[in-house]
């Protein structure tokens, strides 16, 4: 009997694969103040689910395609006379509404909408694990490859231009990477909680890390701890797993913020 036959082992591996990719990427989301972008891309994934089921294709492929379209649309329209928060609000809620309407027209197809909204990590299969870790490692590889360029364009676009970098290109790389994470995460924590797994571990790590690299590592460790702790608490208390993981991450943020504030007062 393989250890992957245990659904809790598969759930833990899926959560760790997501945390290791989402948390470092979430650092850039925090630094660039792109939390709304994460929501917009995640909400668009419901439309991807509906289209995938309607055309009988892979849900992962449908979500990834829709998320990529949303990412490129936002990157294209940004800076063309639209306020970013307004643009993201319109696109996010429009995509979510269209997705929910499209789901209602799927006659003869049974769909557990709650599992896509809040995740169903305990139902992760071996194929899901392959997709999650494949997508997660691809994201990590891309972040490592473009780390210096992404960091430079995040800190100072003018300095990036002087160094021969194109901030818009790096922004597109970041948004496309975010789309991949959304497609990977939908099975684990669901549409409504993806942004939380991007932002909360990174915001928690920010209280202690004094370099970007340390913040990314601390965010990944925080996200991993939240996943494993959330799985344990969910199993013991029979609470919904995805929301429990995010709740643990939120508690870590509160504790880290309090400890960080205390340390700053003593300096």
pLDDT at position 247 is 93
CB-based contact 38:147 (threshold 8 Å): no
Residue given tokens 């208390």 in the structure block: 237
- The reply to whether 51 falls in a domain is yes
Q: What pLDDT does residue 3 have?
A: 57
- 79 token code pair: 């800076």
Token couple for 168 = 């818009």
The CA distance from 176 to 213, in Å, is: 21
Q: Model confidence over 55-65: pLDDT tens digits?
A: 888 888 888 88
Q: Residue 79: inside a domain, yes or no?
A: yes
Please give, one letter per residue, the 3-state secondary structure of 45-71.
Answer: HHHHHHHHHHCCCCHHHHHHHHHHHHH
| Residue 254, in any domain of the structure | no
127-144: average pLDDT: 89
Look at residue 98 and tell me if it is in a domain: yes
Kindly state the average pLDDT of the residues 104-110.
71
CATH number at residue 127: 1.10.3470.10
| Cβ(193)–Cβ(241) below 8 Å | no
Q: Does residue 109 fall inside a structural domain?
A: yes
Q: Which domain holds residue 21?
A: 3-191
pLDDT at residue 1 above 50? Answer: no
Percent of the chain with pLDDT over 70: 91
**Span 203-229, pLDDT tens digits:** 999 888 889 999 999 999 999 999 999
pLDDT in tens, 31-51: 887 777 777 778 888 888 888
- How many structural domains compose the chain? 1
* Region of poorest pLDDT, from 109-123, 160-174, 251-265: 109-123
pLDDT of residue 100: 81
How far apart, in whole angstroms, are the C-alpha atoms of residue 156 and residue 11?
39
Which of 96-100, 109-113, 160-164, 225-229 has the weakest average pLDDT?
A: 109-113
> Using CA atoms, how far apart are residues 82 and 73, in angstroms rounded to an integer?
12
- 227 falls within a domain: no
**Do the domain assignments include residue 46?**
yes
Round to whole Å and give the CA distance between 22 and 116: 18
Q: 197, 250 in Cβ contact below 8 A?
A: no
| Amino acid 224: pLDDT | 94
Q: What percent of the chain has pLDDT over 90?
A: 19
Residue with the larger pLDDT of the pair 250 and 57: 250
pTM: 0.86
Rg of the Cα trace of the chain?
18
252 falls within a domain: no
Average pLDDT over residues 170-175: 83
CB 15 within 8 A of CB 231: yes
pLDDT bucket at 172, cuts 50 / 70 / 90? confident
Banded model confidence at residue 110, pLDDT cuts 50, 70, 90: low
Residue 202 has a pLDDT of 92
């Amino acid at each position: 009997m393989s250890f992957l036959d245990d659904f809790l082992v598969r759930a833990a591996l899926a959560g760790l694969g997501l945390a290791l990719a989402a948390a470092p990427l979430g650092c850039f989301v925090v630094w660039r103040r792109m939390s709304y972008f994460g929501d917009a891309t995640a909400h668009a994934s419901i439309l991807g689910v509906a289209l995938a089921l309607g055309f009988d294709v892979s849900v992962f492929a449908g979500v990834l395609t829709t998320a990529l379209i949303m990412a490129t649309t936002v990157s294209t329209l940004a800076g063309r006379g639209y306020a970013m928060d307004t643009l993201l609000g319109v696109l996010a809620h429009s995509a979510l509404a269209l997705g929910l309407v499209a789901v209602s027209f799927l006659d003869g197809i049974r769909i557990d909408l709650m599992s896509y909204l809040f995740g169903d990590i305990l139902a992760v299969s071996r194929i899901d694990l392959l997709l999650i870790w494949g997508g997660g490692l691809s994201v990590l590889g891309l972040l490592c490859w473009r780390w210096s360029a992404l960091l430079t364009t995040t800190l100072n676009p003018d300095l990036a231009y002087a160094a021969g970098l194109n901030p818009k290109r790096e922004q597109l790389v970041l948004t496309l990477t975010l789309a991949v994470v959304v497609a990977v995460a939908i099975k684990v924590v669901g549409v409504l909680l993806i942004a939380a797994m991007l932002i909360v571990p990174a915001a928690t790590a920010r209280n202690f890390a004094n370099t970007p690299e340390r913040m990314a590592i601390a965010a990944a460790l925080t996200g991993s701890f939240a996943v494993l702790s959330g799985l344990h608490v969910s199993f013991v208390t029979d609470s919904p797993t995805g929301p429990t993981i995010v709740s643990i991450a939120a508690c870590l943020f509160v504790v880290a913020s309090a400890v960080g504030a205390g340390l700053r007062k003593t300096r």
